[in-house]
Structure 1
């Protein structure tokens, strides 16, 4: 199974360097020189890309791939998802840390067991992570992924338990 570790935001400079939004906690491992990444292009096509260089810049990672030598080629990769095989991911070593793919698909329930929906994905933002939950009756719900609101994550049991403050689950 593949997991998204980054998304190409835009070309940077004239030598084919790419600005990448990270979706991994270990960019130094995932984007190490020589690492070969699977890439899913916007049109659904796939290809492999080999990391030639990577460096942090303005909250993103600037990456050069051996196969991308010009800005024109880099521009064609805008929106490309960079993937890693989940079998290659090291264990987190912390019972309170999870990979996004471990949470996607889990049932979201209240403390009393009431079904709320299913975790679609984890949205990463400057303010922290949000669980994107597809509601049972339709629509989506954003829930801050903090211990006070999500007191229990049971990956083996297939659920996350929510203890939302008043109003969080109200329809907009």
Structure 2
């Protein structure tokens, strides 16, 4: 099974290094020296990682045969793809590979169907599930324990306990207008009591 583990960014320096946007929870395993990666577009690779280092919080890689800035810049926006055994699982039982989570049904804790995971987005601060709703719209669910309460791979389901407004924007608007009305009502009562005291 093939998984996207990174995307090449701009060239760094003049010796062929590139910045890489990491899209895997295991960069030391997937993006270490000696790793051979397929690419998208396919004609660019395969690429073999020669060296890797972290500089100012960014991963820098140099590939075999890429020796200068011009060659490095030509790789920009190329996706890096690793071959992963479908039976392979992370050592930590609380961690999952993207392919394990793809296509899981998403339901709330009370059993309400939300949709299906179509993509996992790896952001610097957290991972997001991109969930396709039955009506074709998409919703983004932060993959944090406070919201995603259970991943059941056997049942092919992710259970979520979303805060108000995360799933339905209408719900958030109704809630905020209700809060505003309550605030106005309380303010009105305050005005009345102030008038009564005068």
TM-score (structure 1 length as normaliser)? 0.89
Alpha-carbon deviation of 1:133?
A: 0.9
Alpha-carbon deviation of 1:89?
A: 8.4
Tell whether 2:127 aligns with 1:114.
no
Cα distance in 2 for residues equivalent to 1:74 and 1:148: 41
| Structure with bigger gyration radius | 2
Cα distance in 2 for residues equivalent to 1:62 and 1:88: 28
Unaligned runs of at least 5 residues, structure 2: 171-198
Say which is worse superposed, 24-33 or 55-64, in terms of deviation: 24-33
Unaligned runs of at least 5 residues, structure 1: none
Gap change, CA 1:88 and 1:19, over 3 Å in 2: farther
Cα distance in 2 for residues equivalent to 1:103 and 1:90: 13
Higher relative contact order (CA 8 A, sep 6+): 1
User: Within 5 Å, which residues of 2 pair with 1:45-56?
Assistant: 45=43, 47-56=45-54
- The two structures, once aligned, show a CA RMSD in angstroms of 1.9
Tell whether 2:126 aligns with 1:165.
no
Question: Alignment partner of 1:102: what SS?
Answer: helix
Gap change, CA 1:105 and 1:132, over 3 Å in 2: same
Alpha-carbon deviation of 1:33?
A: 2.1
Cα distance in 1 for residues equivalent to 2:113 and 2:52: 43
Cα distance in 2 for residues equivalent to 1:89 and 1:20: 27
Alpha-carbon deviation of 1:45?
A: 3.7
1:124 pairs with one of 108, 122, 125:
122
Cα distance in 2 for residues equivalent to 1:33 and 1:154: 34
Question: Alignment partner of 1:73: what SS?
Answer: helix
TM-score (structure 2 length as normaliser)? 0.78
Gap change, CA 1:57 and 1:88, over 3 Å in 2: farther
Higher helix share: 2
Structure 2 match to 1:139: 137
User: Within 5 Å, which residues of 2 pair with 1:5-154?
Assistant: 5-41=5-41, 45=43, 47-87=45-85, 91-154=89-152
Cα distance in 2 for residues equivalent to 1:114 and 1:45: 45
Cα distance in 2 for residues equivalent to 1:95 and 1:114: 26
How many equivalent pairs are there?
A: 170
